[in-house]
């Protein structure tokens, strides 16, 4: 059973438009940023996973396969049309029953369920309040959970990335790993009190 919760906040000014969905999910991207290689090390069967800013579901579908029949993936986006893409693909791949769809506003996630893993792929730089975003992530993360935050180098320069790390630390998150992905700056966070 899937859910669809709507909040009334408006979209932020830097959100990737749905008309670019093809560029976010295509065969060429799988050659460069394969979901299994990027998120596979952090997900196990039975996990609850949040795909924050899921877009057209590029990672969502693969993660739904990874969590297995006992796991859940919560696909979160501020654009209903992106969630519609995810629904369509999920049915095509036979994993729709493992995914919840959450339409949210720019300021509040509306999420309550705690997660073993949160993916924030190319989305933190689009949030209107980075500190609030990290506080939300910390609230949603289980004690031994992990967050993978990946940002594009073309939009997020090294000083911006360091500021992001500082904002995460203020929210109670610690960077414990810095994986290398082509064209990206990446960090794995965990709760500071469990680092």
Rounded Cα gap, residues 63 and 44, in angstroms: 9
For the cut 60, the answer to whether the pLDDT of residue 106 exceeds it is: no
Mean pLDDT of the 176-180 span: 96
Confidence bin at 22 (pLDDT 50/70/90): very low
Rounded Cα gap, residues 193 and 143, in angstroms: 9
| Dihedral sign from CA coordinates of 159, 120, 26, 106 | negative
Q: Say what the pTM is.
A: 0.84
Mean pLDDT of the 74-78 span: 94
The pLDDT assigned to 11 comes to: 38
Rounded Cα gap, residues 144 and 126, in angstroms: 27
Higher pLDDT, 142 or 113: 142
For the cut 50, the answer to whether the pLDDT of residue 183 exceeds it is: yes
Confidence bin at 88 (pLDDT 50/70/90): very high
Higher pLDDT, 13 or 137: 137
Residues contacting 159, CB < 8 A, separation 6+: none
Mean pLDDT of the 11-20 span: 46
The number of residues in the chain equals 195
Q: Domain spans of the chain?
A: 4-194
Rounded Cα gap, residues 152 and 53, in angstroms: 14
Confidence bin at 5 (pLDDT 50/70/90): very low
Confidence bin at 34 (pLDDT 50/70/90): confident
Alpha helix (H) residue ranges in the chain:
21-24, 27-32, 35-39, 60-67, 80-93, 130-140, 158-170
**Are 31 and 99 a contacting pair, CB within 8 Å?**
no
CA distances from 132 to 9, 11, 108, 127, 163 (A): 14, 15, 9, 9, 14
For the cut 60, the answer to whether the pLDDT of residue 58 exceeds it is: yes
For the cut 70, the answer to whether the pLDDT of residue 37 exceeds it is: yes
For the cut 90, the answer to whether the pLDDT of residue 112 exceeds it is: no
For the cut 70, the answer to whether the pLDDT of residue 14 exceeds it is: no
Which tokens sit at 78? 């501020």
The pLDDT assigned to 4 comes to: 39
> CB burial class (10 A; 0-12, 13-18, 19+) of residue 114?
middle
Closest-CA residue to 118 (of 58, 70, 188, 165): 188
Mean pLDDT of the 129-146 span: 94
Q: Hey, which CATH number is domain 4-194, 3.40.50.2000, 3.40.50.150, 3.30.565.10, 3.65.10.10?
A: 3.40.50.150
For residue 129, the 8-state DSSP code is: -
């Amino acid at each position: 059973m899937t859910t669809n919760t709507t909040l009334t906040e408006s979209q932020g000014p830097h959100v990737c438009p749905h008309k670019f969905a093809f560029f976010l999910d295509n065969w060429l991207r799988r050659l460069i940023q394969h979901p299994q290689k990027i998120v596979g090390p952090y997900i196990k069967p039975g996990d609850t996973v949040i795909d924050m800013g899921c877009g057209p579901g590029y990672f969502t579908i693969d993660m739904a396969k990874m969590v297995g029949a006992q796991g859940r993936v919560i696909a979160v986006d501020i654009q209903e049309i992106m969630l519609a893409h995810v629904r369509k693909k999920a049915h095509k791949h036979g994993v729709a029953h493992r995914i919840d769809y959450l339409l949210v506003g720019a300021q509040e996630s509306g999420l309550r369920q705690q997660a073993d893993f949160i993916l924030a792929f190319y989305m933190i730089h689009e949030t209107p309040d980075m500190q609030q975003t990290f506080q939300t992530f910390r609230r949603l993360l289980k004690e031994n959970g992990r967050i993978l935050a990946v940002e594009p180098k073309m939009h997020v320069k090294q000083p911006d990335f360091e500021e992001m790390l500082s904002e995460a630390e203020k929210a109670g998150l610690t960077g414990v790993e810095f994986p290398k992905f082509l064209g990206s700056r990446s960090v794995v966070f965990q709760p500071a009190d469990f680092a």
